[in-house]
Amino acid sequence: AEPQVAYAQDEHGRPFIVVREQGKKTRAQGIQALKNHISAAKSVAQIVRTSLGPRGLDKILVSPDGDIQVTNDGATIMQNMELESQIARLMVQLSSSQDSEIGDGTTGVVVLAGALMEQSEALIDRGIHPIRIADGYERACGVAVKALEKVADRVEFGQGAGEQEELMKTARTCLGSKIVSKAGDLFARIAVDAVLSVADLARRDVDFELIKVDGKSGGSLEDTALVKGVVVDKDFSHPQMPREVRDARIAILTCPFEPPRPKTKHKLDISSVEEYKKLQEYEKQTFENMIKRVKDCGANLVICQWGFDDEANHLLLQHDLPAVRWVGGPELELIAIATNARIVPRFEDLSPEKLGRAGLVREVGFGTTRDKMLVIEECANPRAVTVFVRGSNKMIIDEAKRALHDAICVVRNLVRDNRVVYGGGAAEIAASIAVTKAADEIATIEQYAMRAFAAALDAIPLALAENSGLSPIETLAELKSRQITEGTSVLGVDCMLTGNSDMRSAHVFDPYLSKRQQMELSTQLCRAILKIDDVIEQHNVE
Ligand code: ADP
């Protein structure tokens, strides 16, 4: 019997699913336990299935403190669901492993795993032992991956201008299903530029650490920009300081930079105006000495973790030493990396070789808002880049950042391995055909599992068609028969209803690595679940 699935909200208003059968007190074992697991996996897959593809629907997630997120990103949806069942949690992990290794395909991997579990249920009903199913799946996965390899094409690109068309189109496909799709071309350009500026093409390596994605509400998505350097949400401490510093030599201080304050534990003994003035004079003198020391060491800009008061600020202005105050620890580190600076924790440690270098530090306004940001460019370490996302509110910015992350990952994956397979389910259909064919050549019982695997692969084009308002079965049948009769593997679901199912000419492709990872991860998970016949809850004895 189908388990009853209910959607509920916890006390914080977060959505979660209750799979009734899992809630029963009795501990199910053997086949019954397995079937419970399958239904848990299926119900999770069902939830994200409707988000798959460019016409997929978004979900609203409500966080414990009432924040609302609108997203279409599989991994995000999964991470925010409170799940009752252990198996459902495994599905969440599945999507996060796809996310951490590839960064894209997080919805697809869950849909595929759900379909594999669903298919195995029918086989179990027919009396096939779960272990045999697991073995058949593994074999089928091998065949499917080989098929992917066979149908993969290479995307050629280079660092020069005009050599990035194909990368752009791939990034564009990835952004197609997200909120940002209206600014898709800009975001695709940014993703490609960001990756190529930090990439080492000879070693096929991309240092992700060097790409920072930052955002601030205000303006619109179109104001989003890539800065070859670091962006900090701060401005120069005094409005009369110059708005830009060229050939900056930067002292980064994590110690206080202000006149010494008489500590409260020493009793102040000021009995006359005279003495007060003397104290003031002394304070001023010491701070001027500090400024002199900074300047003597060659610095023409100070970036401080701490603040200083108006008087100190004024002295800095008088002595032509622009400063930025209240910069957070992570930003300081980023600036230090980008400018090859050493952070100075004690004033006495200040020395010329610890200064960071940047060709240009300036205040920039982004978009239409009046607030300014500090942009540090032409850095000593030119490979650090920052994407600065603008949007009308935090929700849009967060989703835009996620989308950009996906697009950056897609481009990164192509730098690592430039093979692509065709999207819209074309690659899955090709793999499904190959697996079915291989199953026909096998005499053992695994052939059933292999056919089931092929049917599970079909779940991707089926879901894409359904989400686009097409008739799923008809669409799949037509595509499959055309792929076989025309001997091509580029035909996929025409989600955008352009009248063209040729995914190659429509430039809909996914990185080969991403598809392979989807298949391998979901097969692995299913095999693991098929081998579980008991869940024993460990209770903490306290
Ligand atoms: P995921 O989180 O798994 O990446 P998406 O919602 O981004 O999920 O959907 C990706 C799927 O949509 C892939 O199978 C991809 O091939 C397909 N797809 C993306 N754009 C198009 C398009 N324009 N036409 C057809 N299929 C598309």
Question: Residue 160 pLDDT > 90, yes or no?
Answer: no
Among 51, 94, 177, 422, the mutation site with the greatest number of ligand 1 atoms within 8 A of its Cβ is 177
509 beta partners = 422
> Is the complex ipTM more than 0.90?
yes
**Among the atoms of ligand 1, which is closest to the Cα of residue 509?**
16
Report the separation in Å between the CA atom of 269 and the middle of ligand 1, taken as the mean of its atom positions: 74
Domain spans in the chain, listed from the N-terminal domain onward: 5-154+421-530, 248-261+270-359
Question: Residue 177 pLDDT > 80, yes or no?
Answer: no
Cβ–Cβ under 8 Å, residues 324 and 237: yes
Report the separation in Å between the CA atom of 489 and the middle of ligand 1, taken as the mean of its atom positions: 16
Buried b (16+ CB within 10 A) or exposed e, 279-306: eeeebeeebeebbeebeebebbbbbbbe
Q: Of the residues 104, 406, 494, 510, which is catalytic?
A: 406
Burial of 504 (0-12, 13-18, 19+ CB in 10 A): middle
**Chain-centre distance for alpha carbon 67:** 20
Per the annotation, the verdict on 107 as an active-site residue is yes
**Among the atoms of ligand 1, which is closest to the Cα of residue 510?**
16
Question: Residue 421 pLDDT > 70, yes or no?
Answer: yes
**Chain-centre distance for alpha carbon 207:** 15
Among 52, 55, 402, 460, the mutation site with the greatest number of ligand 1 atoms within 8 A of its Cβ is 52
For 5-54, what is each residue's pLDDT tens digit?
A: 666 666 666 666 665 544 444 455 678 888 888 998 998 899 889 989 88
CA distance linking residue 431 with residue 510, whole number of Å? 14
For ligand 1, whether the C-beta of 184 sits within 6 Å is no
Structure tokens at 454: 């092929």
For ligand 1, whether the C-beta of 74 sits within 6 Å is yes
For ligand 1, whether the C-beta of 104 sits within 6 Å is yes
Question: Residue 483 pLDDT > 70, yes or no?
Answer: yes
User: If you search the block for the tokens 């009248």, which residue do you land on?
Assistant: 499
For ligand 1, whether the C-beta of 107 sits within 6 Å is yes
Question: Residue 426 pLDDT > 90, yes or no?
Answer: yes
Structure tokens at 123: 């086989």
Q: Which of 172, 220, 191 is nearest to 496 (CA)?
A: 172
Question: Residue 65 pLDDT > 80, yes or no?
Answer: no
Instruction: Determine the longest span between alpha carbons in the chain, in angstroms.
Output: 105
**Angle made by CA atoms 393, 397, 403, in degrees to the nearest 5:** 150
Compute the average pLDDT of residues 56-80: 76
Give the rounded percent of residues in the chain with a pLDDT score beyond 90.
Answer: 46
Per the annotation, the verdict on 207 as an active-site residue is no
For 472-482, what is each residue's pLDDT tens digit?
A: 999 999 999 99
Domain 248-261+270-359 falls in which CATH fold? GroEL (3.50.7)
For 214-265, what is each residue's pLDDT tens digit?
A: 888 888 888 888 988 888 889 999 989 999 999 999 999 998 888 776 655 4
For 91-141, what is each residue's pLDDT tens digit?
A: 988 988 998 888 788 899 999 999 999 999 999 999 999 999 999 999 999
Compute the average pLDDT of residues 308-312: 87
What is the CATH architecture of 5-154+421-530? Orthogonal Bundle (1.10)
Mean pLDDT of the chain: 86
**Chain-centre distance for alpha carbon 58:** 17
Q: Of the residues 50, 71, 73, 214, which is catalytic?
A: 73
Q: Which of 514, 473, 465, 466 is nearest to 99 (CA)?
A: 514
For ligand 1, whether the C-beta of 511 sits within 6 Å is no
Question: Residue 357 pLDDT > 90, yes or no?
Answer: yes
Question: Residue 542 pLDDT > 60, yes or no?
Answer: no
Residues written for the chain: 542
For ligand 1, whether the C-beta of 110 sits within 6 Å is no
Question: Residue 394 pLDDT > 90, yes or no?
Answer: no
